[in-house]
């Protein structure tokens, strides 16, 4: 892992764990065991640039996870239901690296700068496109897939957020159970 990746991986963990405001650059430098100059070399515009890169890194990692999970089953109802139930299992196992979203970081940073808002939009569009492609490839019309992919994203992100707040996975399980009803053709 190169220095930039070490900084980003550490920042992603700390931002997810502590939030944007409670995570300082010195903490990231210390935890990543990288020289201070490296952080400013790779992210000359400071914390905002680092957070935007972190949001994209987390988004791509989650995107890869979504694609892998949805590819496991050709039936979109089962694939999406199992994906959400897998998130619920990971939540119970405290496997935070593989079950959380960028929602909380997005909410905390969206008003800080336009680059952070745009980074969040890019990630959400990426995820939305994945749900859309799964639905279109499964025979749903483009129009219906557009509508459903947005609803799926809202359900999943909302369930993750409420699960984090409650510290239990019941909302994720409830969302998974509603997938057959939502995706009726």
153: CATH: 1.10.357.10
In a domain, 25, yes or no: no
What pLDDT score was predicted for residue 17? 84
Instruction: Indicate whether 91 pLDDT > 80.
Output: yes
Average pLDDT of the segment spanning 23-28: 95
Task: Please tell me the distance from the alpha carbon of residue 29 to that of residue 10, in angstroms, as a whole number.
Answer: 9
Residue 92 or 173, more confident: 173
Please, which residues have CB within 8 angstroms of residue 54's CB and are 6 or more apart in sequence?
8, 11, 12, 15, 105
Locate 85 and state its tokens.
């139930």
Domain annotation covers residue 48: no
Reported confidence tier of residue 106, pLDDT bands at 50, 70, 90: confident
Predicted pLDDT of residue 108: 87
Helices 47-71/76-92 angle, 10° precision: 130
Quick one: pLDDT at residue 128?
96
Residue 19 lies in a domain: no
Do the domain assignments include residue 108? yes
pLDDT of 181 strictly over 80: yes
> Does the residue 97 lie in any domain?
yes
- Mean pLDDT over 48-61 rounds to 92
Lowest-pLDDT choice from 93-97, 117-121, 122-126: 93-97
User: pLDDT tens for residues 165-179?
Assistant: 898 999 999 999 999
pLDDT recorded at residue 152: 97
Q: Domain containing 171: what range?
A: 55-182
Binning pLDDT at 50, 70 and 90, where does residue 95 land? low
pTM: 0.88
Would 66 be classed as within a structural domain?
A: yes
Task: Tally the domains of the chain.
Answer: 1
| Residue 63 covered by a domain | yes
Does any domain span residue 36? no
Rounded percentage of the chain residues whose pLDDT exceeds 90: 73
Q: Enumerate the H helices of 19-141 as residue ranges.
A: 25-32, 36-42, 47-71, 76-92, 96-99, 103-109, 114-137
pLDDT given at position 165: 87
Query: How confident is residue 99, by pLDDT bands cut at 50, 70 and 90?
Result: low
Residues 6+ apart with CB under 8 A from 83: 66, 69, 70
pLDDT of residue 155: 96
């Amino acid at each position: 892992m190169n220095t930039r990746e070490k900084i980003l991986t550490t920042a992603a963990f700390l931002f997810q764990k502590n939030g944007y405001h409670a995570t300082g650059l010195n903490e990231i430098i210390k935890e990543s065991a990288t020289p201070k100059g490296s952080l400013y070399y790779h992210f000359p515009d400071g914390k905002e640039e680092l957070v935007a890169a972190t949001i994209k890194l987390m988004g791509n990692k989650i995107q890869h996870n979504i694609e892998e999970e949805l590819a496991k089953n050709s039936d979109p109802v089962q694939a999406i239901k199992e994906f959400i139930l897998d998130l619920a299992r990971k939540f119970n196992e405290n496997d935070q690296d593989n079950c959380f979203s960028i929602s909380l970081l997005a909410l905390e940073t969206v008003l800080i700068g336009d680059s952070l808002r745009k980074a969040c939009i890019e990630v959400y569009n990426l995820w939305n496109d994945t749900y859309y492609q799964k639905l279109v490839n499964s025979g749903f019309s483009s129009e219906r897939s557009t509508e459903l992919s947005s609803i799926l994203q809202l359900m999943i992100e909302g369930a993750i957020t409420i699960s984090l707040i409650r510290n239990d996975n019941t909302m994720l399980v409830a969302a998974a159970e509603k997938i057959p009803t939502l995706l009726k053709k």
